[in-house]
Amino acid sequence: MTSSQPLHLIISEKLRYRITQGDYPSGAQIPSEYQLMAEFEVSRITVRRAIANLVQQGLVMAQQGRGVFVTPQQKVTYSLSSPMVFFEADMARQGVVSTIQNLVFESILPPVQVQNLLELPKRSQVYFQKKLLLLNGAPVAVDLSYTLHRLGKTLARDLKRQMTFPMLEQHGVMIDRIETVIESTHANPEISDYLDVPLGHPLICYSYRAFNDQNQPIVCGEALSRGDRLCYSVVIRRDQSPD
Amino acid sequence: MTSSQPLHLIISEKLRYRITQGDYPSGAQIPSEYQLMAEFEVSRITVRRAIANLVQQGLVMAQQGRGVFVTPQQKVTYSLSSPMVFFEADMARQGVVSTIQNLVFESILPPVQVQNLLELPKRSQVYFQKKLLLLNGAPVAVDLSYTLHRLGKTLARDLKRQMTFPMLEQHGVMIDRIETVIESTHANPEISDYLDVPLGHPLICYSYRAFNDQNQPIVCGEALSRGDRLCYSVVIRRDQSPD
DNA sequence: TGAATACTATTGTTATAACAAGTTGGTTTT
DNA sequence: AAAACCAACTTGTTATAACAATAGTATTCA
């Protein structure tokens, strides 16, 4: 172990290799800190740093008192191609049950950016909602949305219980188009609590603005989802219409 | 500081607040480790852990011997909506110069998955390419691609110098459609070196498979880009064609 | 005046040590 | 048999300490 690379990186790379080679399969526990200390003849802090490197790469998750386990790799894909298919329908197509858990639902004065996105006059209120999205019962996303006040007020009960878009359409509010931006970001402490991921875990941030059939923006927001559980697909065509 | 939250988290949240409030603007240096030790009356390891939390959240970057600096926040957006616009054209539209730096270009026996994606008989070779994508001279993505052997062989010179798709079309190979999947993942040591990001940094993984106008898959691969520099946008329409 | 050296400041790595907190399995008590 | 207790195991936090490496500035020397 005389090398220009730090010990913690040498150890974490060796462990990573073992994981990718299947020595520690998905869900399996890797050796304890004390076992690794003995094996590699280093201090505990070096072992912990090596494990932290693996946690940061999403290869393992550590549970206090239990041990460090190889994370399962399983993702679902949501198609963003036109024609529009709402999230829960796409999930159902894949045999995945999607549900929500409402966290916050309140009338607020929106940030300026939201006001502009929803094309609202100054000092208009909107309904702010924070909800957890669960797939097969496990939290995979936190959704923060802003809905026109008149819709939020009349549909509050259902908005707290169902996914937004299909629910709006059930009530005759048709969604004509959704503008989206997809980015990758880091989990902050609040989000990492909700989604049970380590601080800094990669998230997909799916920002959206939905327009009704009068070309009026009615909802905007962003869904922060676990990068290891959800991904998006698009088909890009040379021309606008399909073959 | 008597609380149920660990000290390192309390401190990093305070620092994060200062950053978001503008006390330390983009590019500015935050107080040194010793200054923070004095301010918060904690050990150096606690301060370092707090700083590591900020690094993990992408808010700061640490440079040995120099200090810890607030990371600039600047992104470009690539539109995945149809009709197709290639990456470099979209960037040019935004006044951003995109260039590539070839790292590897070789004929290989492809992994089984690639073989299937390109619909190749067993034991066919493909051209594997690894290249760095730079925006305004700064590396933002590593691209790993597999191209049909006959194309790779005849167009090797240009493939090493230019972006793939416009170059193919210059040579009469039309791209009819691209199937994509977007996911979020973590930077491993190799990628973190190429892109100059910390281990575990969130990346967008943009996987693609491009078809020519005979509906034949000709290139597949993935671009791993910095989550803080590049994002994607899509417009989803209720119906297939635009209004 | 420019180059080389020394010093200071700052982050990076690794060690030992101690205590805290959570989990699990075995043993004892009811 | 079920509940409670306890010990062992395991990860989490924080401290002190020492050395390494890098960067920037000041001082010295040719």
List phi, psi (to 5°) of A218: -120, -25
**Could you read off the pLDDT of A13-69 as tens digits, one per residue?**
999 999 988 899 888 999 999 999 999 999 999 999 999 999 988 889 899 889 999
**pLDDT in the model for residue B155:** 92
Indicate yes or no: strand D within 7 A of the C-beta of B113. Answer: no
The Cα–Cα gap between A157 and A170 comes to 14
**Could you read off the pLDDT of B73-96 as tens digits, one per residue?**
778 899 888 888 889 889 888 888
The pairing of strands B230-237 and B76-79 is: parallel
Q: Among B182, B199, B206, which would you mutate to test the A interface (most chain A Cβ atoms within 10 Å of its Cβ)?
A: B182
Give A224's contacts (C-beta < 8 A, 6+ positions apart): A141, A142, A143, A144, A185, A187, A191, A195, A203, A204, A205, A206
Indicate yes or no: strand D within 7 A of the C-beta of A7. Answer: no
Q: Could you tell me the domains of chain A? A: 7-70 (1.10.10.10), 76-233 (3.40.1410.10)
Predicted model pTM: 0.79
Q: Where does the pLDDT of residue A136 fall: very low under 50, low under 70, confident under 90, or very high at 90 and above?
A: confident
**Residue from the list B16, B204, B235 with its beta carbon closest to the beta carbon of A184:** B204
Supply A59's token pair. Answer: 């290869």
Average pLDDT over residues A70-85: 85
**pLDDT in the model for residue B242:** 53
**Residue from the list A180, A187, A237 with its beta carbon closest to the beta carbon of B177:** A237
Predicted confidence (pLDDT) at residue A240 exceeds the cutoff of 80: no
Predicted confidence (pLDDT) at residue A243 exceeds the cutoff of 50: no
Name B residues 56-85 whose Cβ lies under 7 Å from strand D.
Answer: 63-66
**pLDDT in the model for residue A2:** 41
- Compare all CA atoms of chain B with the CA of A13 and give the residue at the minimum distance: B189
Q: Which nucleotide lies at the shortest CA–C1' distance from A29?
A: D10
- Compare all CA atoms of chain A with the CA of B227 and give the residue at the minimum distance: A184
CB spacing of B82 vs A239 below 8 angstroms: yes
The torsion of the CA quartet A116, A117, A123, A126, rounded to 10 degrees, works out to -170
Work out the percent of chain B whose per-residue pLDDT is above 90: 56
**pLDDT in the model for residue A4:** 73
Average pLDDT over residues A158-186: 91
**Residue from the list B183, B227, B236 with its beta carbon closest to the beta carbon of A80:** B236
C1' (D16) to CA (A176) span, angstroms: 64
Q: Which residues of B touch A202 (CB under 8 A)?
A: 184-186, 200-203, 227
**Could you read off the pLDDT of A79-106 as tens digits, one per residue?**
888 888 889 888 888 888 888 989 999 9
Predicted confidence (pLDDT) at residue B44 exceeds the cutoff of 70: yes
Average pLDDT over residues B232-239: 85
Which of B85, B124, B92, B93 is CA-nearest to residue B107?
A: B124
pLDDT: which is higher, A242 or B152? B152
Q: Among B234, B241, B243, which would you mutate to test the A interface (most chain A Cβ atoms within 10 Å of its Cβ)?
A: B234
- Compare all CA atoms of chain B with the CA of A73 and give the residue at the minimum distance: B185
The Cα–Cα gap between A66 and B182 comes to 34
Give how far the C-alpha of residue A219 lies from the chain's centroid of Cα atoms, to the nearest Å. 19
The Cα–Cα gap between B210 and B169 comes to 12
The Cα–Cα gap between A91 and A88 comes to 5
Predicted confidence (pLDDT) at residue A241 exceeds the cutoff of 70: no
C1' (D3) to CA (B3) span, angstroms: 33
H-helix or E-strand spanning residue B147: strand B138-148
Work out the percent of chain A whose per-residue pLDDT is above 70: 97
DSSP letter string, A80-92: -PSSP--HHHHHH
Q: Which residues of B touch A178 (CB under 8 A)?
A: 235-236
Q: Which residues of A touch B3 (CB under 8 A)?
A: none
Predicted confidence (pLDDT) at residue B1 exceeds the cutoff of 60: no
Average pLDDT over residues B182-209: 88
